[in-house]
Amino acid sequence: MAGESKVFTLADVSNHNTAQDCWLIIDGKVYDVTKFLEDHPGGDEVLLSATGKDATDDFEDVGHSSTARAMMDEYYVGKIDSSTIPGKVKYTPPKQPHYNQDKTSDFIIKILQFFVPLAILGLAVAIRFYTKSA
């Protein structure tokens, strides 16, 4: 990494997104990993899936060794202009009506409100017919 670093935009890096020309961003630095694709212990698919974008999270999630981190210098091509990388958007779930865990009891109450008066009416009719015939 001798000398002055070239500064790239995300658009610049995004143009290098094939197995023949594979660039990615890790910790604000741009790496041309094209020559490393065949030697990558995790396979070339891992690098190709991260090509042309900020792969910092992917890189950190794997937990690379200090040896792997030292090898990165060989593939360094410059820095990324961080103003060209979109900020992370915090996920906010859509607003939903409050979930009533007692929905079942509401349903039972509505059924009872219908059947209890019906039962009382039926009982009253039965008593009327029973007392009339006696």
| 67 and 22, same domain (yes or no) | yes
Residue 24 is assigned to a structural domain of this protein: yes
- Confidence at residue 102, expressed as pLDDT on a 0 to 100 scale: 58
Rounded Cα distance, 35 and 19, in Å: 9
Higher pLDDT among residues 49 and 93, named by residue: 49
- Tally Cβ neighbours within 10 Å of residue 47: 20
Q: Are 75 and 31 in contact (CB under 8 A)?
A: yes
- CA 27/CA 54 separation, integer angstroms: 8
**Same domain assignment for residues 45 and 111:** no
Q: Could you tell me the pTM of the whole model?
A: 0.61
13 & 46 share domain: yes
Strands 76-80 and 6-8: parallel
* H/E element, 59: helix 56-62
Residues 11 and 77 in one domain: yes
